Chains A and B, each alone.
Chain A
Amino acid sequence: MSTAMNFGTKSFQPRPPDKGSFPLDHFGECKSFKEKFMKCLRDKNFENALCRNESKEYLMCRMQRQLMAPEPLEKLGFRDLMDEKPEAKDKY
């Protein structure tokens, strides 16, 4: 944290997160999803764009286990992934 109190020097102002804090996953209920995500990241050279499905699944796991406030996935920026899903559904 910058402690410079000078006027005019740029300092960092931390902001609270938009949706608050994640409750801790004490029982490791979503650990398998996290492991899948981390494995994907390591395989794809830490590129986030290629592992968005896994991150979406992790957040869905949290929502199902009451470890996160349920929100429609579009609001979390997964709209492009949602558009693919109905197409897959229509096939069946």
Chain B
Amino acid sequence: MGGFWCQGRRSVALCGRCWSQARWWGRTVKDAEQVLRPGWSGLGGAERGLRRLGTWKRLSGARGPAAQPPRRPGSSNPFQRAQEDEWRRRNKTVLTYVAAAAVGMLGASYAAVPLYRLYCQTTGLGGSAVAGHSSDQIENMVPVKDRIIKVTFNADVHASLQWNFRPQQTEIYVVPGETALAFYKAKNPTDKPVIGISTYNVVPFEAGQYFNKIQCFCFEEQRLNPQEEVDMPVFFYIDPEFAEDPRMVNVDLITLSYTFFEAKEGHKLPVPGYN
């Protein structure tokens, strides 16, 4: 009984471990309390109990089960004993709560990943993709004729890629809900076939979630033979919900920017998204 305190914190911690261990093995707190009844012979009893459960062989150094840890003389005063019992019970409760909180934290850290993804999708924070647009939506969408948006085009090439890549129109005026076609032109002036792969960017970022490409030439390898020049179309539309978003009230200009990189043979670029 009094032997609990003699080892100071270590024994309490170890005992705390015992209690937690008891929990893990499916025992209720009540069973743990029985283990800690008066008459329980300190660490030796814990060792026996845990050996039964098949866990630690040796709890405390070289001391055998027969040797008892040195104890403080037990309090003969019944009131003090009752108080010590009360402290012990309270300690146990606190440790149980702490263990439960630790488990709760671990569970919360696992749950955070899908929850955060859901949060991003609903609020659109971080520019995440809005839930999918099917072709039915394209079929049924109604152009918002009073909102004219100017879309400008930009073309870039990475330094190591020697293509001549440029848009064929500087700008185009569209309305949300109307599909539009635009062209880029690329020429390979070298004498070797070159494979390029492109990505795109839309400015302003918030408008990017309303900019939907039905078909384009990005994210797939495009091979140009020597001295070959091709037209690259982009077929896109701006989601009609753009007109209803209060944050987009002042947006009249959207810039679509494509950048081409050289693709190495056998190098597979991952398609963006959460797939």
* Interface set of A (CB-CB < 8 Å, partner B): 1-2, 7-22, 24-26, 28, 30-31, 34, 37-38, 41, 45-49, 52, 55, 58-59, 68, 71, 74-79
B126 contacts A10, CB within 8 Å?
Answer: yes
Query: Which 6 residue pairs of A and B lie closest in terms of their CB atoms, listed nearest first?
Result: A77-B179, A55-B181, A21-B220, A17-B213, A48-B180, A75-B135
A79 to B237, CA, bound (A): 14
Give the chain B neighbours of A14 by CB distance below 8 A: 199-201, 218-219, 272
A37 contacts B208, CB within 8 Å?
Answer: no
Closest to B237 in A: A77
Q: Is B32 part of the binding interface, using a Cβ–Cβ cutoff of 8 Å?
A: no
Give the chain A neighbours of B127 by CB distance below 8 A: 10-13
**Smallest CB–CB gap between A66 and chain B, Å?**
14
**Smallest CB–CB gap between B219 and chain A, Å?**
6
Interface of A is mostly: loop
Given A12-B202, A26-B230, A31-B231; A18-B135 close (CB under 8 Å) = yes
On chain B, which size bracket covers the interface? 35 or more
A26 contacts B219, CB within 8 Å?
Answer: no
Q: Is B69 part of the binding interface, using a Cβ–Cβ cutoff of 8 Å?
A: no
Q: Identify which of A21, A37, A46, A74 contacts B216 (C-beta below 8 A).
A: A21
A1 to B139, CA, bound (A): 31
* Interface set of B (CB-CB < 8 Å, partner A): 125-129, 133, 135, 138-139, 141, 143, 168-175, 178-181, 183, 199-203, 205-206, 208, 212-220, 222-225, 228, 230-233, 235, 237, 259, 271-273
A74 to B179, CA, bound (A): 11
A46 contacts B178, CB within 8 Å?
Answer: no
**Smallest CB–CB gap between B155 and chain A, Å?**
15
Given A1-B199, A11-B127, A59-B235; A22-B179 close (CB under 8 Å) = no
Closest to B132 in A: A18
Q: A13-B127, A21-B215, A46-B169 are in contact. List 12 more A-B contacts (CB 8 A).
A: A12-B203, A14-B219, A17-B213, A17-B216, A18-B214, A24-B223, A24-B224, A25-B230, A31-B231, A48-B173, A48-B180, A68-B215
